[in-house]
Structure 1
Amino acid sequence: MKVIAIVGPTAVGKTSLSIDLAKRFNGEIISGDSMQVYRGLDIGTAKVTVEEMEGIPHHLIDVRDIDESYSAADFQKAARQAIQEISQRNKLPIIVGGTGLYIQSLLWDFKLGSEGEPEDDSLREKYEAFAEKNGNQALWKKLQIVDSLAAEKIHYNNRKKIVRALEVFELTGHSILKPKDRPKKLYDSFLIGLNTDRAVLYQRINQRVDLMVERGLLSEVEMLAKNPNVQAAQGIGYKELFPYLAGDSSLSESLEEVKLHSRRYAKRQLTWFHNRMSVHWFDLVQQPELITEIEETLADWLADDTSDFCR
């Protein structure tokens, strides 16, 4: 079963490329973004509009209310089902997103969760008591010290998962997310990575933030500020503006925080994809003509029937 994934940092044109390739190769798009699942969060997540879709079906967008949680395991299950259904329609599944864990857990047999790990009620009670006294973020920082892999992937307000991760680490000495064996590839996948020069990327990120404000970002922030402890409220582009609404900072100061955190996130995204996956990289920002090379490469790959993967 053939699957294309378009990955890379924010603001490099993944959405535009996905639409072009879906039209060219009879595809449907699966969002691999951890924030675009939330209804009503359109501007701050740079969610694709109906007009931009150009009639191409999109999946896993607007599937959660803002007070609901969403995990890599949720995405893995839903996206694999979407891939199956799209393929059965003789369409090409195209995954688009910058959330590295989502892409990796989908395309490989990547185990999420703690099945088969030992349990200890007393340890669980100890960490629950610590969280009650010191707060969820203090508990998360404790996890970050002993198991940075798990801390990177578990939201600091998800106390249940943090407690379980600490419990497993103390009992076994290894991360709750550490794969027991090298994960195998589940699909015949081709990964396209988009990137550009860092200075250009950072300029595009800064401009995107300013444009989001012009389009009404603050209305979405105000909606989330009514319930700032939900998972959705911790997304970059939202949490940084809460101090402005509270009168604790100016709008320009808060927007600089959004831009700073967005740039840092882009750097983390690139590090993930460079270190963990085999990606074919292109710079369409400065060399838009490379789309011809991408299309020709994909056409050859799609025509190749020598793969051992089932179709």
Structure 2
Amino acid sequence: MKPKLVVLVGPTAVGKTAMGVELATQLNGEIINGDAFQIYRGMDIGTAKVTREESRGIRHHLIDIRDPDQAYSAADYQRDARAAVAEIAHRGKMPIIVGGTGFYIKAAVCNYQFSENGSDPDYRQALKQRAEREGSDALHHLLQSVDPVSASRIHPNNVQRVIRALEVVHLSGRPASAKKSADGNVPLYPMVCIGLTMERPRLYRRIDRRVDKMMEAGLLDEVHGFYLSGLEHAQSMQAIGYKEFFPYFEHKRSLAESIEKLKQNSRHYAKRQFTWFRGQMDVHWFDADPAAENFTVLRDRILDCIAGGSGSK
């Protein structure tokens, strides 16, 4: 059956943006952002948001839809992404989700159901204050004691998700992991999921070079503007590329140390992305190393896979 949805995933800096635009050009498609932080206005350099020139006239959805002081959840993304898929398909175009936030993408394309529990703002605030006092590991240890399954799935640094998992237990008396749909892995659409991969050493060098280019493009000024606006504790500022510089502005870390921390966090994030996608989604993987084959050959192999040809899983 011809796919009605294409998903393009992979680690940071592997080349998803350029390939996504090329696939959209070839497939008469439009792109749906699959990055958790590109939805925020003004967070352009640090999130490697697609530029007007890079987009080559291809329409992109779910970019710049929230202000940095606004909350946005995976459930919000699920709703918005599914609506975008329907709207694009209704116009006879191919929806193509491109991004690296695996949990968001899976929630959108699979029959994943979120907990119906409400929220307790006071409890959430208390947890945030504890994290600020004792560090993110303290909350993660608490989550391990009440919901070890969720703790194994959530990185200790993802404070927002740790807090939400604790909040579910607080409100319902049941672990957040027990609330997931039994058929949450079942795709909602006829789709093909393409993954771009690369040998770690080469990818890590690309990450380091990209951080250097971000700094040249004005990343420090971009983050400083958010700091001056008092947004250092906003959900949006937990993004890699932003949180690393707040200690510099507070004279707790040198600029060189902050840049190295950004590179380190980006490399670690890429490793986690590899692990997540390989374990959570049915992906056809392609080596995006330009030393292995040129861009056009890689594009044609991916198009063949989408059309029903072979692709290495």
Q: Does the 8 A contact of 2:165 with 2:176 survive in 1?
A: no
Change (3 A) 1:128 1:19: closer
Kept after mapping to 1: 8 A contact 2:124/2:167: no
Name the structure 2 match of 1:305.
none
Per the TM alignment, residue 299 of structure 1 is displaced from its structure 2 partner at its CA by 3.1
CA distance in 1, matches of 2:281, 2:128: 39
Equivalent residues in 2 for 1:69-108, closer than 5 Å = 69-108=71-110
User: What TM-score does the superposition give when structure 2 sets the normalisation length?
Assistant: 0.85
- Give 5+ residue unaligned stretches, structure 2: none
Identity, % of aligned pairs?
46
Match of 1:28 in 2: 30
CA distance in structure 2 between the partners assigned to 1:75 and 1:163 by the alignment: 21
Q: Which residue of 2 aligns with 1:17?
A: 19
CA–CA distance in structure 2, aligned partners of residues 41 and 192 of structure 1:
26
User: CA offset at residue 176 of structure 1?
Assistant: 5.0
Inter-CA distance 296–216: structure 2 relative to 1 (3 Å threshold): same
List gaps (5 residues or longer) in structure 1.
302-311
- Counterpart-to-counterpart distance in 1, 2:124 and 2:242: 28
Aligned to 1:39: 41
**Which stretch shifts more, 278-287 or 52-61?**
278-287
TM-score normalised to structure 1 length: 0.85
Please give the alpha-carbon distance, in whole angstroms, between the structure 1 residues aligned to 2:124 and 2:199.
Answer: 45
Structure 2 counterparts to residues 216-255 of structure 1, below 5 A: 216-225=218-227, 226-255=230-259
Q: CA RMSD in A?
A: 2.8
Distance 1:133 1:50 in 2: 40
One-letter amino acid of the counterpart of residue 143, structure 1: L
TM-superposed CA distance for 1:150, in Å, is 4.0
Match of 1:291 in 2: 299
Return the alpha-carbon distance in structure 2 between the equivalents of residues 18 and 125 of structure 1: 39
Equivalent AA in structure 1 for residue 81 of structure 2: A
Distance 1:133 1:66 in 2: 20
How far off is 1:232 after superposition? 0.9
With 186-195 and 217-226 compared, the bigger mean Cα shift is at 217-226
Q: Kindly state the Cα deviation for residue 165 of structure 1 after the two structures are TM-superposed.
A: 2.2
Q: 1:222 to 1:130 in 2, by over 3 A?
A: closer
Alpha-carbon distance in structure 1 between the residues aligned to 2:232 and 2:247 = 11
Q: 1:280 aligns with which of 236, 261, 284?
A: 284
Contact 1:127 1:163 in 2 (8 A): no
Instruction: Return the match for 2:262 from 255, 258, 263.
Output: 258
Matched residue type, 2:287: D
Given that residues 111 and 183 in structure 2 are in contact (C-alpha distance below 8 angstroms), is that contact kept between their aligned partners in structure 1? Answer: no
Letter in 2 for 1:248: K
Deviations 1:224-268 (A, max 9, x none): 223211001111111111111222221111111001110010011
Distance in structure 1 (CA, Å) of the matches to 2:212 and 2:61 = 28
Aligned-partner Cα distance in 2 for 1:268–1:197: 14
For this pair of structures, how many residues does the alignment match? 294
1:23 Cα shift? 0.7
**2 CA distance for matches of 1:132 and 1:15?**
34
Residue of structure 2 in register with 1:161 after alignment: 164
Tell me the SS of whatever aligns to 1:33: coil
From 192, 195, 215, the equivalent of 1:193 is 195
Matching residue of 1:57: 59
Deviations 1:38-64 (A, max 9, x none): 100100000000111111110000001
Q: Tell me, in whole angstroms, the C-alpha distance in 2 between the residues paired with 1:158 and 1:269.
A: 16
Residues in 2 aligned to 1:128 and 1:237: alpha-carbon distance in whole angstroms: 25
Counterpart Cα distance in 2 of 1:7 and 1:132: 31
Match of 2:130 in 1: 134
Return closer, same or farther for 1:182/1:299 CA change in 2, 3 Å cut-off. Answer: closer
The DSSP-based 3-state class of the residue aligned with 1:73 is: helix
How far 1:157 sits from its partner (Å)?
4.8
